[in-house]
Structure 1
Amino acid sequence: MFESGGFHLRKWASNCTAALAGVPILDIEVNTAIDLDDSTTIKALGMHWQPCSDEFKFVFHQPEISQHTKRIILSQIASLFDPLGLLAPVIVKAKLVMQKLWELRVDWDANPPGELTTYWHSFVQHLSVLNNFQVPRRVIGGCKPHRIYLHGYSDASERAIGACVYIRTIDEAGNLSSHLLCSKSKLAPIGNHRTTLPRLELCASVLLARLIANVQSIINVTIFEIHAWTDSQVVLAWLKGGASKWKTFVANRVAEITTHLPAINWDHINTQQNPADLISRGAIPEQLRDNSLWWNGPVWSPKSGHSQSTDSYVSSVTLQEAQQIGREQKTMSVSLIAAYQNSFLDNMMTRFYPDLLMLLRVTARLLRFRYYNSRENSRLLPYEIERALRIYVKHIQQLHFGSELLRLQQKREVSRHSSLNQLKPMLDECGLIRVGGRLQHSGLSYDVIHPILLPRQSILTFLILQYDHATHHHCGPQTLLAVSRRRFWIIRGASTTRKVYRQCIICAKAKPAPVFQQMGQLPSDRVQPHPPFSITGVDYAGPLDTVGRRARGAILNNFAASTS
């Protein structure tokens, strides 16, 4: 396919000689008949690969440098190319040296302090051991694996955090194999950005969750089970509690972790069995070369595993760990508010809407069971209707003006931020809020001087306005506002009355459409051209007073031309 497009592929390489049988010798990277032996390596994507044994190798050339400046140290660290993180514990030690140089504010071309220079020189001497590292490229054991497991481990220290992922396979015969797939490391923040160890453990778990998500999206195999392990019981408690229970720092990271991997997939592992502990502490190449815990992971079985469940560990947390868990718990503030509510009166107003008179008559009948002196007469008396209306008005005022009513009952003025402050509200003998006003010395009735206050958004307000609108022959909004203010003062009453007027179906049907008079045709003298003053008109104005010895009225005569 590439050949048809003019792309001639060269430098073919394979660990199987049969795969290169049809490839020309000039296009092969390594001549299998001559060069393919145990020492032949091919550099692929920055890594050295040995086709004969199908293993990755690491090559480190120790430079002969007399002085180790900050610039040279950074160059040597960058030469350790490890995209898969197979040498993460070693590279972490190198990163820690660079972090220390930044902490000491060493210039680029300046020599580090004596102890740090000696430590780096000794570390570089150990890096020559990397030339003996051989890592198998094939991580899936067996030709036909029966099940494939993906296990991840995370750990953190005050110096670094790390995460590593292992792929475990079981073939049909029950043979188990485990190999390191990749890892990731980061240094812990220093200076003013230092944080607690449980938070670092949580950051390591975030790093592991991201790493597992990336691996899962890249490898093209069916994963039977994904599991994550950490040696922090505090992190497991945070994951089990959910994101909504904790403060912002923990909540955001718990939400991200559980997005990639649910909390049920996380378990506890002892620190001695955690391979990520090597990343958080760092290791020299000699400690890493034959370390089975790093290259193959801890001993694990699909039936027994290598750790107890999360629930048993969370139940046995120490006092210090319990304090660390509770320190990140979101503080809950509980406010007890006594709210007035009377669903019976609300249901009554809704049921008899929009008939105010029927509502008051039914309520007055019900009130007769409470007031025995009203049972003597079978017909309802006006004061009974008035008593029923006061009950609904007081109910509405308690719902909408609760704080103002409480302050007035305590003989205090309403708050200056209240919408009733400008009206100088007061309480009458029935406990209703009325407008104070300045008309006490007028001869008007008490209801006009001190109208009852009503909110604009209440069902009782609309009932009263609709009743006044109907009883006053469907008057307009301005007349309706004037009529209602004989007894009630509605907050923003002008807009409320306009709304009631617009909602009246009878008024909408009876409102005639405006008629516009059709103008007649213009006369010919107005539309045809004529010489100036062919058609004239005479205008008279007066009499006008004139100033003189003999004052007489004057008439103003004006000749106007219709055309010009």
Structure 2
Amino acid sequence: MDDCLTAVASEDQAVALSQSLRDLCLRGGFKLTKWVSNSRRVLSCIPMNERAVEVKDLDLSKDTLPTERALGVQWCTESDTFRFSVNVPERPTTRRGILSIVSSVYDPLGLVAPCILPAKLILRELCQDKLSWDEEINKGHSRRWLQWLAELQELSSFQIDRCIKPDDFGPTLKAQIHNFSDASESGYGTASYILFTNKDGQRCCTLLMAKSRVAPLKKVTVPSLELTAAVIAVKVDRLLRREMETTLEESVFWTDSLTVLRYLENDALRFKTFVANRVAFIREATVPSQWRYVNSSRNPADIASRGMRFTSLIKNDNWIHGPHFLCEDEREWPTRPDIRSTMDDDSEIRRTTLVSLVSTTKVAALTKLVEYYSDWHRLKKAIAWMLRLKDLLHYFAIKRKECKAVVALRETDERKQSLKVQEEMKRLRKSLEKKPLSVQDLKDAEVVLIRHSQKEMYPEELASLQGKESQVKKSSPLYRLDPVLQDGVIRVGSRLNKSAMPEESRRFISRRGQVSTMRSDNGTNFMGAERELREALEELDHSQLRDGLMQKGITWIFNTPTASHQGGIWERQIRTG
């Protein structure tokens, strides 16, 4: 079983929790031991044989509480602070030795990240010089490394309160995470702080997590690194919001890069891949109104991007408790300068090349799609998915409009309205069920393709059928087929569509019973249909047509040409109709 580490708001809660945990585990035959706490009262409520070895023999009334390891971090239970234990092993002054010592400084929260950056920069330079892992480094690098190694001992005097707000602060009215990011030619980094406000309007701020990374060997512009740091800030914010068990207001992001702010505000320009991907990631997780400007001198992430000596960091209150303006009234916070200046000279903007040419033909987008696919079924599927997307976008547009109307009734602040609408739309997208294409979807796609094909081949006929006369010209090749327009598709007209005869026959039989003889006029279309059926039967042999007519014993009789009196009653019905 692994260690269990938790925190509660009061000693009474801690005593009750420890007792319930011990009772619960005991029911399953497990005995919890090695108990440690920063509260003497809690320790006194735990049997001595179940306490940690370091506190078993302590006189809780006067002895100093020990320092314990909590998930790899040194926890001084007496002062309730996190500290660092420095035990530098003997290693050669090579890339392998330097990496071993740097990696031995365990700092999962990045509390001393600015101090580790200088050593990482030495490693990057050695890598750039293509030194082997066990090759001795030159004197310049060796001098810088030994200086950093000597200052590493100062790390043992660094400490930070475990509790992120003072004991006498009282109940929290609101909590908000502030994420700072910055970059330089050496590296880039972030620093995230939690800002509490109590019922009296008092504020306190403390560091939650920081990150510091060296710039890549490949040359990257500082604005690009600034954007990368902003991405890291968003990722850290996501992590903190997921892990913190407290109600948080909307996070705030601070940067001293006006270029980053312009990137996030811009909707018109297209960026190169590097910038475009990062801007898309940030805008998916945040809105531009969450991003604010801070001067470099007041940005705590500045030292995370440049590095700092151990002795300086220990005395730097701005690093531990954040910039002082956060604890002031929000009206005193830094304001954003005008960022509406042109970005035409930015190298990250994708340039558009205009080419003038003379074209004698226009090719429709659907025609290009038809030419792209060589398989009819795949073409129909592609069209069906596009129709599905079209319907989905229309549905989202309607829902967004409805959502805006509902939110506007409850919220007057435009920025909060925008956030709530975005949250509702995200929830709507997640709730939608992903359905495969249906047969009807493919049929609808086929109709679209037929309409397009007819529009390309018979534009005059379509115009005539859509007009008042609803009839094509006699010069049209479709004239003898008596075409009609149904649902935007040209179909063969007349009293009976020859292509639909087998299907109509089946429908008739299903409703009226078995047919033995079919009589009809000797019109041109019927003669053509009879001839076509004969040819199909001869060609297909045991095909569906033969099974549908011959095997059912149906005889198709044509009347004598121009002898309408043979029709009898049906001719009378036609005349009266």
Q: Same fold by TM (over 0.5)?
A: yes
Secondary structure class of the residue paired with 1:177? strand
Q: 1:462 to 1:287 in 2, by over 3 A?
A: farther
Rounded to whole Å, the distance in 2 between the matches of 1:348 and 1:36 is 104
When the two chains are superposed, the root-mean-square deviation of aligned CA atoms in Å is 3.9
Contact 2:164 2:206 in 1 (8 A): yes
Q: Which residue of the partner structure matches residue 21 of structure 1?
A: 44
Distance 1:98 1:137 in 2: 32
**Contact 1:140 1:167 survives alignment (8 Å):** no
CA distance in structure 1 between the aligned counterparts of 2:547 and 2:145, rounded to whole angstroms: 96
Q: Which amino acid aligns with 1:3?
A: L
Match of 2:525 among 473, 480, 492: 473
Q: Is 1:515 the equivalent of 2:551?
A: yes
In structure 2, give the amino acid aligned to 1:100: E
Mapping of 1:340-359 within 5 angstroms? Answer: 346-350=462-466, 356=471, 359=472
Give the number of equivalent residue pairs.
Answer: 390
8 Å CA contact 1:163, 1:204 repeated in 2: yes
Q: Distance in 2 between matches of 1:156 and 1:85?
A: 16
- Tell me which of 45, 61, 73 is aligned to 2:71: 45
**Aligned with 2:209: secondary structure?**
strand
The 5-angstrom pairing of residues 451-462 of structure 1 reads none
Helix, strand or coil at the partner of 1:203: helix
Mapped pair 1:308 → 2:335: yes
Q: Deviations over 1:183-214 (max 9, x none)?
A: 12222211xx3222211111111111000001
Q: Of the candidates 147, 172, 176, which is equivalent to residue 149 of structure 1?
A: 176
Identify if the C-alpha distance between structure 1 residues 468 and 259 changes in structure 2 by more than 3 Å, giving closer, same or farther: closer
State the shift of 1:329 in Å.
4.0
Q: Which residue of 2 aligns with 1:323?
A: 345
- Listed one character per residue, the Cα deviations across residues 74-97 of structure 1 (whole Å, up to 9, x for unaligned) are 111011100000011011112111
Once residues 473 and 346 of structure 1 are traced to their aligned partners in structure 2, the CA distance between those partners, rounded to angstroms, is: 22
Match of 1:161 among 177, 188, 191: 188
1:57 partnered with 2:80: no
**Match in the other structure for 1:83:** 108
Unaligned stretches of 5+ residues in structure 1: 361-384, 394-457, 481-493, 496-507, 518-564
Change in Cα spacing, 1:234 to 1:472, as seen in structure 2 (3 Å) is: same
Letter in 1 for 2:113: A
Partner in structure 1 of residue 439 of structure 2 = none
Could you tell me which residue of structure 2 aligns to residue 250 of structure 1?
275
- Find the counterpart in structure 2 of residue 33 from structure 1: 59
Q: Distance in 2 between matches of 1:8 and 1:179?
A: 37
| Aligned equivalents of 2:461, 2:332: Cα separation in 1 | 65
Cα distance in 2, alignment partners of residues 240 and 478 from structure 1: 70
Alpha-carbon distance in 2 for matches of 1:128, 1:459: 84
Q: TM-score, normalised by structure 1?
A: 0.61
Counting aligned pairs with the same residue, the percent is 28
Residue 33 of structure 1 aligns to a residue whose secondary structure is coil
Contact 1:210/1:260 (8 A) holds in 2: no
Take 2:531 and 2:356, find their aligned partners in 1: how far apart are those partners?
A: 46
Question: 1:336-356, CA deviations, whole angstroms, 9 ceiling, x for partnerless residues?
Answer: 977699999745324689x74
Q: Partner letter of residue 161 of structure 2?
A: P
3-state DSSP class of the match of 2:526?
coil
Contact 2:175 2:197 in 1 (8 A): yes
Aligned partners of 1:41 and 1:48 also within 8 Å: yes
Q: Once the two structures are superposed, what CA deviation does each residue of 1:313-360 show, in whole Å capped at 9, x if it has no partner?
A: 312x5x7x6522x6324638699977699999745324689x74xx43
The 2-side partners of 1:132 and 1:239 are apart by 41
Bigger helix fraction:
2
- 3-state DSSP class of the match of 2:69? strand
Q: Specify the alignment match of 2:25 in structure 1.
A: 2
- Is the contact between residue 140 and residue 168 of structure 1 (CA under 8 Å) also seen in structure 2? no
Q: Give 1:53 shift.
A: 1.1
| Structure possessing the higher radius of gyration over alpha carbons | 1
Deviations 1:104-147 (A, max 9, x none): 22222221111101110011111111111111111134231111
Q: Which residue of 2 aligns with 1:537?
A: none
SS at match of 1:195: coil
CA distance in 1: counterparts of 2:215 and 2:105, whole angstroms? 21
Partner residue in 1 for 2:126: 101
1:488 is matched with none
Q: Give 1:512 deviation, angstroms.
A: 6.8
Kindly indicate whether residue 211 of structure 2 is the aligned counterpart of residue 184 of structure 1: yes
Which structure 2 segments of 5+ residues have no match?
1-23, 364-454, 480-487, 500-521, 537-544, 554-577
Residue 234 of structure 1: which of 255, 259, 263 is its match?
259
Contact 2:38 2:65 in 1 (8 A): no
